[in-house]
Structure 1
Amino acid sequence: MLKELHTVLPAADLQRARTFYHDKLGMDPQDEVDGVLVYRPDSGAQFELYETANAGTAQNTQMGWMTDDLDSEMATMREHGIVFEEYDVPGMKTVNGVATGDAMRSAWFRDSEGNFICISEMKR
């Protein structure tokens, strides 16, 4: 039976990625197993970073977090140097980094390795 779900992200430079997640998001790995950094955020989820030459090649969302206050999260992240993506494509246009849909608001940024990370808030 399948049990725990976790995200695995590529990194061209594992030390650079470790520094990014520490400096920009305030996260440190809880484990390092066979060269893989293992993060366990407070939410109980898990994600891993591993070194590979394929890092930064995906052009899609690779990991997402939910939040109760998107604006506050974005403000804190911006204070730490996070730059949010701006999109203007059919069906989606961001305003100040935020795309608003019927059920949620979302924003995307890239980590130091080019991975697309999304943060979203369900609309109230």
Structure 2
Amino acid sequence: MLTDAKITTMLPVTDVERARRFYADRLGLREIAVAGDGTRIFEAGAGSIGLRQAEPGAQSAQTALTFLVKDVEREVGELTGRGVTFADYDLPDLKTVDHIAEFGDEKAAWFTDTEGNILCVHQNT
């Protein structure tokens, strides 16, 4: 059944090696495989992330994936220490303080990878 299937999120990247370094060095994820087509696979929680070669502009303008974490402040601090740059917002319906937005029972912070994919760390409070 699909409800029991392990999921791999495939992200489009224009420079696989640059993206590989970001996911390994900046995010601290462990590379577990290289597919026959050159897709780099990283372990992430109960699933994985695949970095697949794509043409420039293949990235979405929306959040591509989120990491559900227990302590978003701690994660933002650790990732910032590794050189990750977080987006800040000051909009009528979305405002960040120290890179983190709070809405309802959720806290979230967004950043992009080297390829322009939008990623998020979030916590349910």
Give yes or no for TM over 0.5: yes
Deviation at 1:54, TM superposition (A): 3.6
User: How far apart, CA to CA, are the structure 2 residues paired with 1:56 and 1:98?
Assistant: 27
Q: Does 1:39 align with 2:42?
A: yes
The 5 A counterparts of 1:50-65 are: 50-55=52-57, 57-65=59-67
Deviation at 1:56, TM superposition (A): 6.0
Deviation at 1:5, TM superposition (A): 2.5
1:56·1:113 contact (CA, 8 Å) conserved in 2? no
Name the structure 2 match of 1:109: 111
Unaligned runs of 5+ in 2: none
How many matched pairs?
122
TM-score by length of 1: 0.90
User: How far apart, CA to CA, are the structure 2 residues paired with 1:36 and 1:23?
Assistant: 17
- The residue type equivalent to 1:39 in the other structure is F
- The residue type equivalent to 2:76 in the other structure is M
TM-score by length of 2: 0.89
2:6·2:46 contact (CA, 8 Å) conserved in 1? no
SS at match of 1:73: helix
- The residue type equivalent to 2:8 in the other structure is H
Following superposition, which runs of at least 4 residues in structure 1 exceed 3 angstroms of deviation?
54-57
Deviation at 1:55, TM superposition (A): 4.8
Name the structure 1 match of 2:12: 10
Cα deviation 1:71-120 (Å, max 9, x = unaligned)? 11111111111110011233111112111011110000001111100000
Unaligned runs of 5+ in 1: none
